[in-house]
């Protein structure tokens, strides 16, 4: 799929077919995540891949917007490893870029996804820490629900020239 087309046609998919995503495809998606831009090339991200149904089904108990995870065949938890941070505060942008790359790469490979915010919501951070037994220096940032799509969403028109300012406000 052409990159520009992927950017415009990607949608949050919350309904999935009951098919497993092959590990090779997950690795391909994670490789794209690791090629995201990063401040000072610090690459502070690490990832937790989750495919056990019992674990996935426990997430909506503490994340109020994660009900679709009960249908998903897979989830990726994007985290920050504080020991890799060189520029304090920029890990948020780095992990956001990695998350976006996961969404685009998934779409390109025919996988539906949705970004579920975790950080900075303390209840969600705590829930992820407890569920996955995360070490103290690992900060859960975002959870991405993944699966083969069982819904098709149309591309809305989002371009709004009124939001563009040239040379001054």
Residues found in the chain: 169
Give the alpha-carbon dihedral of 60, 117, 18, 111, to 10 degrees.
Answer: 180
Query: Between the CA of residue 9 and those of 15, 38, 88, 99, 155, what are the distances in Å?
Result: 17, 25, 34, 17, 6
CATH for 17-150 (1.10.1200.10, 3.40.50.2000, 3.40.50.1000, 3.40.109.10): 3.40.109.10
Report pLDDT for 111.
98
Phi/psi of residue 31, nearest 5 degrees: -60, -45
pTM: 0.96
Report pLDDT for 1.
75
Q: Please list the rounded mean pLDDT of every run of 10 residues in the chain (169 residues).
A: 93 97 98 98 98 98 98 97 96 98 98 98 98 98 98 95 97
Report pLDDT for 161.
97
Report pLDDT for 165.
97
Report pLDDT for 75.
98
Domain ranges of the chain: 17-150
Q: With helix as H, strand as E and coil as C, how does 41-108 read?
A: HCCCEEEEEECCHHHHCCHHHCCCCCHHHHCCCEEEEEEEEHHHCCCCCCHHHHHHHHHHHHHHHHHH
């Amino acid at each position: 799929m052409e990159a520009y087309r992927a950017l415009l046609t990607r949608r949050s998919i919350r309904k999935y077919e009951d098919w497993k995503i092959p590990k090779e495809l997950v690795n391909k998606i994670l490789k794209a995540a690791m090629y995201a831009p990063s401040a000072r090339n610090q690459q502070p991200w690490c990832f937790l891949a989750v495919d056990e149904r019992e674990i996935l089904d426990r997430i909506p108990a503490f994340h109020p917007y994660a009900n679709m995870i009960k249908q998903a065949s897979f989830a990726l938890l994007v985290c920050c490893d504080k020991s890799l941070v060189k520029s304090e505060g920029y890990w948020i942008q780095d992990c956001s870029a990695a998350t976006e790359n996961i969404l685009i790469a998934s779409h390109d490979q025919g996988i539906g996804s949705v970004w579920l915010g975790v950080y900075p919501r303390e209840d969600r951070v705590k829930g992820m820490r407890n569920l996955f037994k995360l070490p103290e220096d690992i900060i859960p940032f975002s959870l991405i629900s993944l699966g083969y799509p069982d819904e098709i969403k149309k591309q809305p028109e989002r371009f709004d020239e009124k939001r563009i300012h040239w040379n001054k406000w």
